[in-house]
Amino acid sequence: MAKKLSFIILSNSGTTVKRLAIPVSLLAALALVVVSGAAAVGISLYKYRILQQSLAANQRMGRTIDDQQEVIGQQRLQLQSFAREINGLKEQLVKLDNFEKKIRVVANLAPGQVDDNLFGVGGAAPEDLDPQLDLTQRHEGLMREMHRHVDELDQASQRQAENLGSLLDNLEGQRNLLAATPAIRPTSGWITSRFGRRVSPFTGKKELHKGMDIANRKGTAILATANGVVSYAGKKGAMGNIVVVDHGHGIVTRYAHLSKTLKKRGEKVKRGDIIAQMGNSGRSTGPHLHYEVHLNGVPVNPSKYILN
C-alpha cells in the first residue's frame, strides 16, 4: 500500500510544472480535521438555534409574567376596594338598625320580634377589614375575612329586613288607629253642656250626660271627627235625627238632634267630611249638636278627643 499520494500540477500547455507527494496519513488527518470542524460548526449552529428559540420562549414567558403581574395587581386593588365597600355596607347596616330602634322608641312600639342583636346572639359587629394589608403576604387571608364578613352581613340584613317589616306593620296599624280616632271638633259653636252628671232640663233630676252639646244656627255643618263607616242614619227617639259612625278599634261617634242627615248607612267617611246639618229634632231645647264618643260600648268624655 502506498504511503504517499503524488499530485502533478500541469501548465496550460500540458507540461509538468510541479510534482507533490503528500503522505496518506497527512491527508487522513486533514480530512479528519475538516470533518471535525464541519461537525463542530454544525453543532454550534444547532445550539445557537436552540438558544434563539429558548431566548424567544423566555421573552414570551417574561411578557406573560408581566401581564399576569399586572392582572394580579389590579385584582389586589379590587380586593382592597371591595374590603372598603364591605366596611361601608356594615356601617350603613348598623346605622339603619339604630335608626329603626329610635323609631320604635319614638312611636312607643315594642322592640323587633327578631333577635335584638343585629349580628346574632352575643355577636357584635365584626371589626372592619384592613384594606391596607400587604396583599403579597395576606392575599388569601383577606379573601377569607371578606367571605366571612359577607356571610355575617347577609344574615344581619335578613334580620334587619324582618325587623323593618314588623316596624312597617306596626306603624301602619298605628296610622290606621290614629285615622280612626276622633280628633277634631264636630262643628262650630258654643259648648252649652259638657260630659258628666248634670241636672236634666226635662226631668229636673241629676243624670249622666253622655256627650257634649254645641249650639249654633240651624243648618250649621256637622263634620265626621275621624275615618269610619256610617252604621246608622235616621230617627232615633228623643235624639231625633242621628248619624252613628263606626270607626273600628271599638270607637263609635254619635251626632244627634240633626235637621238633615247627608250620609247613608254603609257609606265611608273621612275626618272632616260633612255628614249632616245642625238642627232641633227630638227632645231638644234649641238648635244644637249632641255629640258622643263611645269606646268599647262605654261613653267617654268627647273633649278628650278634640285637638283643635
At 122 the three-state DSSP class reads coil
Distances (CA, A) of 27 to 7, 9, 35, 101: 12, 18, 12, 109
Q: What is the pLDDT of residue 123?
A: 47
Grid coordinates belonging to 42? 454544525
Give CATH for domain 190-305.
2.70.70.10
Q: Between 77 and 287, whose confidence is greater?
A: 287
How far the first Cα of the chain sits from its last, in Å, is 146
244 touches 232 (CB < 8 A)? yes
> Is residue 73 classed as helix, strand or coil in its secondary structure?
helix
For residue 108, give the C-alpha cell.
312607643
**pLDDT average, residue stretch 26-48:** 77
The pTM of this model reads 0.54
Of 275, 198, 207, 196, the C-alpha closest to 242 is 275
Dihedral sign from CA coordinates of 307, 182, 285, 279: positive
SS3 content of the chain, % helix, strand, coil (to 5): 45, 25, 30
Grid cell at residue 209: 250626660
Mean pLDDT is highest, among 79-93, 106-120, 132-146, 207-221, for 207-221
Question: Which whole-number Å values give the CA distances from 144 to 81, 83, 141, 149, in the listed order?
Answer: 15, 11, 5, 9
What percent of the chain has a predicted confidence (pLDDT) above 70?
74
The answer, yes or no, to whether residue 124 has pLDDT greater than 70, is no
What share of the chain in percent tops pLDDT 90? 32
Q: How far apart are CA 120 and CA 203, in angstroms?
A: 69
Provide the pLDDT for residue 222.
97
pLDDT above 90: residue 38: no
Q: Which residues pair with 206 in a beta bridge?
A: 199
**Helix, strand or coil for residue 306?**
coil
Q: How far is CA 4 from CA 20, 35, 163, 281, in A?
A: 10, 21, 115, 163
pLDDT of amino acid 161 = 78
Confidence at residue 122, expressed as pLDDT on a 0 to 100 scale = 45
pLDDT digits (tens, 9 = 90+) for 217-266: 999 999 999 999 999 999 999 999 999 999 998 999 999 999 999 999 99
- pLDDT tens-digit map of 132-182: 555 555 566 667 777 777 777 777 777 777 777 777 777 777 788 888 899
What is the domain partition of the chain in residue ranges?
4-71, 77-179, 190-305
Confidence (pLDDT) at 15: 64
Strand partners, 230: 245
d(CA 256, CA 226): 17
User: How far apart are the C-alpha atoms of 73 and 79, rounded to whole Å?
Assistant: 10
* Cell numbers at 302, concatenated: 268627647
